[in-house]
Every structure is written in structure tokens, then in C-alpha cells.
Amino acid sequence: MASYEVSPVTGILSEDQVFVDFGEHEGKSILEIADTKPTFYNFLIEQRETGNFAIKRCKDKVYRLYIHNNNLN
């Protein structure tokens, strides 16, 4: 059985393949956010746990992360 890491934000998708599609971090990969913005990364983990975001594959074959209800006050 193969062993692989599961991201707390992206699940089985590699964090360098999923990009934020909103706010001041738009266009940044989840991996980059994990390295440079740990507070925001923790926010994304919380949003995943509450089911408040989606990851969609776009026509350009890039995975984008969307927040359903923007709580970035």
C-alpha cells in the first residue's frame, strides 16, 4: 500500500497545485501560504473543517480554492 501525505487544507491534492482565488492572497498556492502566512493557513484549515470552501478545477486545469462565505473581517 502506498503512503502519501494528506494536507489539512487540500486533502489528497498537492498544496503546490491549489491556488487561492480571492482576497489579498489571490494567485498564491496553498504551499506558499503555509510557508509565509501561517495564520491565514490555519484559517483555511478551519474553513475546511466547517465545510465553508470548495476546490474546483478550472478550464485551464488549475485547481482553485474558493470560500463560500467570506469571513475575512
Give me the chain's average pLDDT, please: 89
Grid-cell match 486533502, residue found:
11
Q: What digits encode the pLDDT tens for the residues 4-31? A: 589 999 999 999 999 999 889 999 999 9
Question: Does residue 24 or residue 1 have the better pLDDT?
Answer: 24
What local confidence, expressed as pLDDT, does residue 68 receive? 83
Q: Which residue type occupies 21?
A: D
> How many angstroms separate the CA atoms of 58 and 53, rounded?
15
Q: pTM for the complete prediction?
A: 0.82
Q: What digits encode the pLDDT tens for the residues 47-72? A: 999 989 999 999 989 999 999 865 55
Portion of the chain with pLDDT greater than 90, in percent = 75
- All structural domains of the chain with their residue ranges: 18-67
> CB-based burial of residue 54 (10 Å sphere; 0-12 exposed, 13-18 middle, 19+ buried)?
exposed
Q: How far is CA 34 from the centre of its chain?
A: 9
